[in-house]
Amino acid sequence: MQPKEEKTFILIKPDGVRKGLIGEIIKRFEQRDLKVVAMEMFHASRKEMDNHYPKEDKWVRRLGEKTMATYAKYGHDVKKDFGTSDLMRVGKTVRGWLLDFMSSAPLVKVVVQGVHAVDMVRKIVGPTMPYLAEMGTIRGDFSNDSPLNANVERRSVFNLVHASETPEEAKHEIAHWFGKKSPIYKYKRFGVDE
């Protein structure tokens, strides 16, 4: 595969759509010379979201670990909020909240293409926890959320955008959300492809 052909998958989450940030978010990928090659607004079912996010224990536990890292940093007791300190069980609860949230309002699905598309988009989006995201990133410029308050409110962390973390994840997600009826386009972008 040509380096310029690398593709990644983005979902503008319900908070991104409801905050009126669709244009702002897509602009940031385009201004970094990434090419939008597919895009659509839609409302996902809970089942579709369940098939989008990994189900493996390792990934579910990582959700628990991400919550735990913040609790450890601020001296909060995970058992108090979840009734358990088993990170697998914490992760399962968080994953459920995430599916509820992602199916609560319309989303925008986008495929962008370009050199190091996967890593570049992650860099533009910023880290998972908005309270840790640097200014200049999407999550750092437009959100401020933490598992400390999200968990108390029994909801997922609001961080505006989903973006694939690896080329393998991108491949799976593009196949899951785009098929024959939602094509991926090919065109030459001025200044990038010619």
With beta carbons less than 8 A apart as the criterion, state whether 37 and 186 touch. Answer: yes
Cα gap 96→50, rounded to integer Å: 9
DSSP 3-state of 71: helix
Alpha carbon 192 to its chain centroid, in Å, reads 26
**Could you say whether residue 165 binds ligand UDP (CB under 6 A)?**
yes
Please, which residue, 8 or 159, has the CB nearer to ligand UDP? 159
Cα gap 51→131, rounded to integer Å: 28
Known catalytic residue at 52: no
**Could you say whether residue 128 binds ligand UDP (CB under 6 A)?**
yes
- Applying CB under 5 A, what is the total number of residues that bind Mg ion? 1
Please, which residue, 51 or 84, has the CB nearer to Mg ion? 51
Question: Contacting ligand UDP (CB under 6 A), which of 7, 35, 52, 66?
Answer: 66
**Could you say whether residue 99 binds ligand UDP (CB under 6 A)?**
no
Give whole-number Cα distances, 14 to 48, 145, 194, in Å: 15, 15, 36
**Token digits of residue 133:** 């995201």
The stretch among 23-31, 35-43, 165-173, 180-188 that binds Mg ion (CB under 5 A) is: 165-173
- Which sequence positions are flagged as catalytic? 162
Instruction: Report the interface residues with ligand UDP, using CB under 6 A.
Output: 62-63, 66-67, 94, 98, 128, 147, 150, 156-157, 159, 162, 165
